[in-house]
Amino acid sequence: MNTLAIDMRGVFFSYEKIPVLEDVTLILNQGDFLGILGPNGGGKTTLLKLLLGILKPDKGEIRVLGESPRHAKHRVGYVPQNTDFNTDFPISVMEVTLMGRLSRSRFGKRFSKDDRAQAEAILRKVGIWDLRHRPVGSLSGGQRQRVFIARALATDPEILFLDEPTASVDPEFETDLFEFLRELNQTVTIVTITHDVGVISRHVKSVACVNRSLIFHEEGKITPEMIDMAYHCPVDLIAHGIPHRVLPFHTEE
Amino acid sequence: MWEVLQLDFMRNALVAGILVSIACGVIGSLVVVNRIVFISGGIAHSAFGGIGLAFFLGFSPSLGAALFAVGAAMIMGAVSFRARHRSDTFIGVLWAIGMAIGVILIDLTPGYHVDLMSYLFGSILTVPLSDIYMMMVLNAGILITVTIFYNEFIAMSYDDEFAFIVGIPVRPLYFSMLGMTAVSVVMTIRVVGLILVIALLTIPPYIAEKFTRSLSRMMAMSSVLGILFTLCGLYLSHAYDLTSGATIILVAGVGFFVFQCVGLLKPKGGSAP
């Protein structure tokens, strides 16, 4: 691969003097599928927002696809953690999806036939074409999640960022989603935040753990170090049914 | 009814009511979905400072109101970007200061203070033709802006973070929305007065939101509802000799509760048409 998908070095960030991220370095090749683990409040979402250019680091260098995050942001897609906002807003599935076709360059223009065709293709791909006229607020959590994935895909991203995409959906959809993402990963770099260690073990290529600092493992293994950092209590983790095969000595295929 | 329309002031009132209802329908919808109802209230009340200044220095009160409304809108916009969680306090402070400046300046103005009440509660029956032309120009400006940037306004209103990521200039768009809100508020002050502006700006969109599936339809339905309320209120105020602004708002208020009950019976959603 020529340019790195993500190249962040020595990044510090704090909210009103409270340090959230300290000396974070993360290097990710294009085509990778990164899972980000970590406790609540550990800085996972902050990390994503730095990469999207929504937040600016206090210190350190961030490059996304070889550009500054602000310049690269139109080349990435983003699926937010919360999809149950503005549920009274009168907007249809199709309209939200088309939002992904907006950009600075076409400011103030109508959607073209091509935009609509692309939106249709994506809605069919994520399996909600039949719901295209429905108000987004009337959908179930899983359906709404698909809408936001469709919107992110409509931007034609080179990297897709997902913030806990399975936080509010049924387990069935979770499996479907990761199957879908794995297929998508053939052409798109994927970075997903998750608190589900099982998901990480089955689907991702590399894994990072964020809790103020960051540990990265490019072969997707969860090291005891990570577990310790993420949860401070391995016993509790096992009690939650972490599949045994994620442990480092396991081999797959 | 028809002989009433023969009267110039009544015709002007009717046209002014329709124009203001359209502006309130379009901008009020944006105000409601962006949750800036409080900002629009702050804009309306701080506009009173401008009215006071205009009396004091002897220029057009509408111009004074417009200056203060736009100024207040921009300051409130800047604050809500900077300190999101404390912006409501700041807006409340500007709201009160604007009113206080207005009252003090009018105190300091020598002479007889005639139509102070007309700014507080509106005076749709005294709208001159020149104001009607001005309203037409402003309405056209609002409609053109919202039509051209409709998709961007939706994106910003629905999810400003995503709008920012795809590269929409969210900040200029937000400030232009506030500017248009200020302009609509000044127009509406003419009809129902600054104390009642919020009602005409928010009641029709709030009702429409429950019955529509897109922002454009919400805007259209709000405008129609606004026209309905304004004309009914105007008729009742004429027939029973009541204050027009308050009557219009009461009609809107009744509409609000009627539709609220209807809305409980028939929630939106379900399958596509």
Supply the CATH number for residue A76's domain: 3.40.50.300
Which of B157, B161, B167 has the CB atom closest to A80's CB atom?
A: B161
> Which residue of B165, B217, B269 is in closest CB contact with A78?
B165
Contact B269 A111 (CB under 8 A): no
Q: What is the C-alpha separation between B7 and A54, in angstroms, rounded?
A: 58
Judged by CB atoms closer than 8 Å, whether chains meet at B164 and A54 is answered as yes
The domain that contains B257 carries what CATH number?
A: 1.10.3470.10
CB contact under 8 A, A96 and B158: yes
Residues of chain A neighbouring B148 (CB-CB closer than 8 A): 108
* CA B50/CA B64 separation, integer angstroms: 4
pLDDT the model gives residue B87: 84
Strand order in the sheet with A159-163: A76-79, A159-163, A189-193, A33-37, A206-211, A213-217
- Which residues are within 8 A (CB) of B151 and not within 5 positions of it... i.e. 6 or more apart? A98, A99, A102, A110, A111
Q: Is residue A252 part of a domain?
A: no
Per-residue pLDDT reduced to its tens digit, A6-55: 999 999 999 888 888 989 899 999 999 998 888 888 888 999 999 999 99
Q: Which of A163-177, A196-210, A216-230, B107-121 has the lowest mean pLDDT?
A: A216-230
Contact A151 B154 (CB under 8 A): no
Residues on chain B touching A64 (C-beta within 8 angstroms):
none
CB B189 within 8 A of CB B197: yes
**The tokens of B264 are what?**
């409980």
Interface test with A, best of B84, B145, B147, B151 (most A CBs within 10 A): B151
Torsion sign across C-alpha atoms A95, A97, A98, A100? positive
Asked if A15 is an interface residue toward chain B (Cβ–Cβ < 8 A), one would say no
A1 domain residue, yes or no: no
pLDDT at residue A237 in the model:
38
The closest CB to that of A102, out of B148, B155, B269, belongs to B155
Q: Is the pLDDT of residue B79 over 60?
A: yes
Whether A247 has a pLDDT exceeding 70, the answer reads no
Its domain, for residue B218, covers 2-264
Looking at the domain assignment, is residue B77 inside a domain? yes
Q: Does A186 touch chain B (CB under 8 A)?
A: no
CA distances from B230 to B208, B238, B257 (A): 16, 12, 16
Question: In this complex, which of A91, A104, A108 lies closest to B214 when CB atoms are compared?
Answer: A91
CA atoms of A93 and B271, how far apart (whole Å): 12
Q: Letter for the amino acid at A247?
A: L
pLDDT bucket at B112, cuts 50 / 70 / 90: low
DSSP three-state, residue A191: strand
Nearest-Cα distance to chain B for A71, in Å, is 9
Give residue A199's pLDDT band: very low, low, confident or very high (50, 70, 90): low
pLDDT at res. A229 = 65
Strand A18-28 and strand A6-15: pairing?
antiparallel
CA–CA dist A19, A12 (Å, integer): 8
Q: Which of B149, B166, B269 sits opposite A74 (nearest CB)?
A: B166
On whether residue B272 sits in a domain, the answer given is no
Q: How many domains does chain A have?
A: 1
Distance CA B215, CA B221 (A): 10
CB atoms within 10 A of CB A199: 19
Q: Tokens standing for A36? A: 């980000």
For chain B, what is the mean pLDDT?
90
pLDDT tens across A81-132, in order? Answer: 887 788 889 999 999 999 999 987 778 788 999 999 999 999 998 889 999 9
CA distance A170 to A177: 11
Q: In A38-87, which residue ranges form alpha helices assigned H by DSSP? A: 44-51, 69-72
Out of A52, A91, A102, the one facing B168 most closely (by C-beta) is A102
Mean pLDDT over residues A197-204, rounded?
Answer: 72
Q: What is the pLDDT of residues B233-269, one digit of tens each?
A: 999 998 999 988 899 999 999 999 998 888 777 655 4
DSSP H helical ranges for B58-169? 61-82, 87-108, 116-121, 129-148, 150-158, 160-165
Higher pLDDT, residue B138 or A218: B138
Q: How many domains does chain B have?
A: 1
Q: What is the ipTM of this complex?
A: 0.84
Quote the tokens at residue A45. Answer: 């979402």
Q: Identify residues of B whose CB sits under 8 angstroms from chain A CBs.
A: 33, 148-149, 151-152, 154-155, 157-159, 161-169, 209, 212-215, 217-218, 268-273
Compare all CA atoms of chain B with the CA of A50 and give the residue at the minimum distance: B165
* In the predicted structure, residue B64 carries a pLDDT above the cut 70: yes
What range does the domain containing A37 cover?
A: 6-246
B270: pLDDT strictly greater than 60: no
pLDDT band (50, 70, 90) for residue A250: very low
| Residue where the block lists tokens 């053939």 | A186
**pLDDT range class, residue B85, cuts 50, 70, 90:** confident
Residue A136 belongs to some domain of the structure: yes
A251 within some domain: no
Q: Which DSSP letter does residue B99 get?
A: H
Closest CA–CA distance from residue A196 to any residue of chain B (Å): 25
Between A and B, how many CB-CB pairs are < 8 A? 96
The answer to whether residue B271 is domain-embedded is no
Q: For residue B156, what is the nearest residue in chain A, using CA coordinates?
A: A99
| Helix ranges (DSSP H) in A93-223 | 93-99, 113-125, 141-154, 171-184, 197-203
Task: Indicate if the pLDDT at residue B273 is higher than 50.
Answer: no
